[in-house]
Structure 1
């Protein structure tokens, strides 16, 4: 497997476009299109928040009941959440407008929205944007990147990746783009991720691969502990690579799953590191746990601790906050057996051993904690299981961004 240039247009048969529809932003693009020249098998995972945005409800129906999917239309600026029957009707109108512009069935169109909750979509602008998207779509790397930028809200950088690998002697490509910076605490699987591949794979196994992989990728990140109303991951496979169709969990399936994990891990880390106001990606690895469940619970408890996140921002090796977060996680362990180590590009430093502080240098610890990625390794000495979670530091700017978000 190798990383290649681009994102959602890297796989054969996929095109993309971006448009400035002035939905909220006056100085940038805010609509994106992903289109496949051939019908696609579609898989999806969605927010577990009881309050589900209209696009989530629409996409759940398309993924479950439509024979195939062929396009995704996304807008930023307005989330189309808590908008009632009118908001769901706008999903239908969006799909119909895209269907007419692309000459495909409306039930083959998926939709996505991100932005302010409670506002209705300006449908005339949306429809005008769709027309522009359909007219300007192509398979260039530049258009794929433009689409990745168009779906940003408080994100500071675009997030895209593509990889190539071999299935049945054929070169296969898997690409993706996502957005997410705040209201990030996925439990599904405001984050949106769109993945495209030219692999031939059955709908059942495509869904199984996605549902399996999100547990170790998107479900292991958190910026602020808020599970969005709009969380959506969509995976489209058009089979254009010409590989023998994957219909069972064989070697090709596991190769595909590995590639999917690589892409999703990359995108998940990008979202965590680009958390609103963040200055550092905060990675927590729990090792030698009794079970995977225990390791997941412990690692996620640490990355969601506001006190620990604030300490990371201050480059302060306040390890007591980490042990505290592990202690209230609900997972059982012996605090007097835990080792904690801080790592970064600046080096590695063990802080506590068997629950007791070592004679370490605060200056050295602060230097290690001053890098763009800070890693905490918690060894609980109970077994062979492990898990990794990703978050970010908590800064003054997080409050500023969210205090001013609607204005």
Structure 2
């Protein structure tokens, strides 16, 4: 006999994890991810290890997911964007069909950027910026208040670089590629170095290191940073990337498109998430035990940063790749142990795996970097991906990124307000 489908209309009905997953059309692990993000509430089964969920709450979430995915109106085509850049499939992701983690393990950030932009590898390429452009960007950034965050500095640097480029409105492929190869090193050069005596030479990761920490860099640390940049180059249509494509659809020049991405990335649910994981990791390191720290987070109703990802039912492949490299850094050992403690402790409440924000937190805490360092790494890395998406969008019909609003306000005509 076939199991009956759960009836969400029955008041007070509780669903098992399996039933909730079936109704939502997701895996059981994703149901717990919804709980961690505050989109579902759960109750422990008395005397058991499982959880139950309010049927009506699950149905509301299922309807919202269907609506957001365009399933209720058959408008999937309006919400999907054809792209040749990144594919996310199960617990792996690919850049132009090539495993992204393998690319990052074997090639520099600049080489991966070229692969995204052109589909060709250019071994040994290093991005450089004109001194005049860097000088303009540095002056603009230098005028900001001392407490200014890194993304604000990057945004101002991008605007200053645009103002210094009279050819910025040339959207031909070669022109945009030229802009990309100078804009990214300009952004890095415009960030103030942590200590004097730095050198703006060598691979981009080496130059960025001096903007993140005053500690001396060894080859292993620089390799981890360069790999982190390569892993974070792109991740399909994340919120900031969608903003970039909207700007490019309106034929905004690449500096403006990157500025749109930087405006979105600052949210705590996007680029700034690594800073929250950094602070959590420091607290666990300070107390020597994750249990009281996690307990306090849960008591306050906060989600645990650095855990779970809506696109990966298992471990984030970017986190897995970075953790493997971090194991080769002796000074990262305490941070790695604290990260494992966080994952193990939280698993008693909800089975979520580590994401890239937790891996970045291990890197930044282990190398004397501030909590904002992960956000800086994320923004610099993702700039190359944004340029790739802008290039792709420039080849599409202009202004196609124009969804229709679904009006739910008062039915017209209404009387004029007094």
TM-score by length of 1: 0.29
Compute the TM-score of the two structures, normalised by the length of structure 2: 0.28
If each structure's strand is expressed as a fraction of its own residues, which one has the higher value? Answer: 1
1 or 2, which has the higher helix percentage? 2
